[in-house]
Amino acid sequence: MEKFNDIYLRAAERKGGEGKLAMLLSKPLSNKQVAQLPDSAWLSEFTKKIFQSGFYWSVIEKKWPGFVEVFWRFDVEALLMMSPEQQEKAASDERIVRNYKKVQTVQANAYMIHDVASQHGSFSQFVADWPSEDIIGLWQYLKKHGARLGGNTGPYALRVLGKDTFLLSRDCESYLRSHKIIDGGLQTKKSLVAIQSFFNELQQQSGLSYQELSQIVSFSCGDNVVGIG
């Protein structure tokens, strides 16, 4: 396993120096800030990432104000009461991308958020309290209890809303495979445990957030097509 300093220096060289690399890095929110987010923000972002999956992201962004209207500003409690007839109507509404199966995930994920909030005070508090040294555990929770939140969908939503997480971008995966940290499927339990251990070691060596670390790893190799690592 490479030392953090070696990865960092290579990333800095590839990006034109330490100063320019620093400008490319972003930090997560604090746990306190994450805990203060409204639970509607999670339902909104989960929905956006689900609809963006396999589709042009720019189209979803352009239509997003329509999604907000159709899904009642992602009010979790209100969406728990959304009837099958209302879901069918939403799935045919031209203000959104019409996909009935994805529309159904809105209420399913509202239920997950509601159930978690009933036990932890809020879904945001639940996410804030989850330790990033076991972020794959949170990924797996979302996959198991949510709807269509497996793969990169759940992790990307977490990143957007400020939870400290590494991401398995194309460049990050390339690094992990070329350095023999993983050799099988990216989302297998064996691979995820190995990846978490790798980032935990880098975090102990550097003191940086997992977000910054996966960006640095991504910048140290590959084409950096997706610069959020």
Q: How many residues does the chain have?
A: 229
Q: Assess whether 92 and 149 both reside in one domain.
A: yes
Q: Assess whether 173 and 132 both reside in one domain.
A: no
Q: Assess whether 16 and 60 both reside in one domain.
A: no
Residue range of the domain that includes 186: 4-28+166-220
* Residue 125 pLDDT: 98
- Where among 161, 187, 211 does a domain terminate? 161
How far the first Cα of the chain sits from its last, in Å, is: 19
pLDDT digits (tens, 9 = 90+) for 171-187: 999 999 999 999 999 99
- Where among 118, 136, 161 does a domain terminate? 161
* Residue 97 pLDDT: 96
The amino acid sitting at 129 is D
What backbone torsions phi and psi does residue 154 show, to the nearest 5 degrees?
A: -60, -50
Q: Assess whether 118 and 215 both reside in one domain.
A: no
Percentage of the chain modeled with pLDDT above 90: 96
Q: Assess whether 37 and 132 both reside in one domain.
A: yes
The number of angstroms, rounded, from the C-alpha of 95 to the middle of its chain's C-alpha atoms is 25
Q: Assess whether 88 and 184 both reside in one domain.
A: no
Q: Tell me, yes or no, whether 170 lies in a domain.
A: yes
Q: Assess whether 206 and 151 both reside in one domain.
A: no
Q: Tell me, yes or no, whether 39 lies in a domain.
A: yes
Q: Tell me, yes or no, whether 125 lies in a domain.
A: yes
Computed on alpha carbons and rounded to an integer, the radius of gyration of the chain in Å comes to: 19
* Residue 163 pLDDT: 98
Residue range 11-30: average pLDDT? Answer: 97
pLDDT digits (tens, 9 = 90+) for 37-81: 999 999 999 999 999 998 999 999 999 999 999 999 999 999 999
- Where among 145, 161, 177 does a domain terminate? 161
Q: Assess whether 202 and 131 both reside in one domain.
A: no
Cα–Cα distance list, 95 to 54, 57, 59, 129 (Å): 19, 15, 11, 36
Q: Assess whether 189 and 108 both reside in one domain.
A: no
Structurally, the chain folds into a number of domains equal to: 2
Q: Tell me, yes or no, whether 226 lies in a domain.
A: no
Closest alpha carbon to 158 in 148, 170, 166, 169:
166
Q: What is the DSSP letter of 134?
A: G
* pTM of the predicted structure, to 2 decimals: 0.94
Angstrom distance (rounded) from CA 86 to CA 104: 11
Q: Assess whether 89 and 202 both reside in one domain.
A: no
Confidence band for 226, pLDDT divided at 50, 70 and 90: very low
pLDDT digits (tens, 9 = 90+) for 108-152: 999 999 999 999 999 999 999 999 999 999 999 999 999 999 999
CATH at residue 128: 1.10.340.30
Confidence band for 223, pLDDT divided at 50, 70 and 90: confident
